[in-house]
Structure 1
Amino acid sequence: MTTKQLEFNQRVHRLNKKHHKMSRGYRATMRKDGLVVMKPQRVRSAVPAKVLVFCLLGFFGFKAFLLSNLGPTGYQFRIDSLNQGTSVEQAGAWVMQIDPLSEALAVQLNKVLY
């Protein structure tokens, strides 16, 4: 009786897990033998990964353009003035500080533009 109860509990656990997955959405598919089977759909992210990557590329490109246009001293002067401001401005200064990637992109941008 114990093995039958264990098999039953495992089956109930599998069905509950499948029911939880299907509560988020499902699709009907037909198997080769003609039986229609419901399969849970995968949960997709609200923001695709491509959008995040393009936003990061745009952000670092913007920083590189500013660094290229203002020069390192002018850029650092503006970052230092942001550090003297409110906590929001200080957070902006931390985000906009010169990093190796934007510095390398600025060097490449200087070669192309000037």
Structure 2
Amino acid sequence: MVDNRIDFDHRVRRLTKKHEAMTRGYYGRIRKDGLIEVKPRRGGIKLPVRALLFLVVAIFVFKGFLLASLGSDTYGYRVERLAGGTAVEQAGAWIMKPDPLSVFLAEQAGSVLR
């Protein structure tokens, strides 16, 4: 009698866990015998592609406006000073160094800022 109770509790815990996993999403598939089997989706790490793309665009726009407002000489001097700092500052200097896209955006924004 005790074994039946333990087996029942184990089945209830397993079904509760599966039900909680299914609240995050599930998919169904048909087995070879025709039975529809529903399984929870895996909870892997999902990369927010749209947010990362927005961040990259924002960095380029920021660099363009900074380059347009400071001028290329002052901007280059500040990036060189940043490159001589700590490892974090060097990484920031690598990100902030002028590239063709930010120079193009600076040229376009230069007419608006002046």
- Normalised by the length of structure 1, the TM-score is 0.62
Please give the root-mean-square deviation of Cα atoms over the aligned residues, in Å: 2.9
Q: How far apart are residue 37 of structure 1 and its match?
A: 3.7
Equivalence for 2:82: 82
In structure 2, stretches of 5+ residues that fail to align are: 1-24
- Normalised by the length of structure 2, the TM-score is 0.62
Whether the 8 Å CA contact 2:68–2:109 is kept in 1: the answer is yes
Equivalence for 1:46: 46
Question: 3-state DSSP class of the match of 1:46?
Answer: coil
- Residues 14-53 of structure 1: CA deviation (Å, up to 9, x unaligned): xxxxxxxxxxx633479xxxx6442664767533211111
| Paired AA for residue 86 in structure 2 | T
| Paired AA for residue 26 in structure 2 | Y
Q: Size of the alignment, in residue pairs?
A: 88
- Cα distance change of structure 1 residues 40 and 101 upon mapping to structure 2, 3 Å threshold: same
| Paired AA for residue 74 in structure 2 | G
- Residues 61-107 of structure 1: CA deviation (Å, up to 9, x unaligned): 11111101101001001011112222221221111101111111111
Runs of 4+ off more than 3 Å = 39-45
Equivalence for 1:95: 95
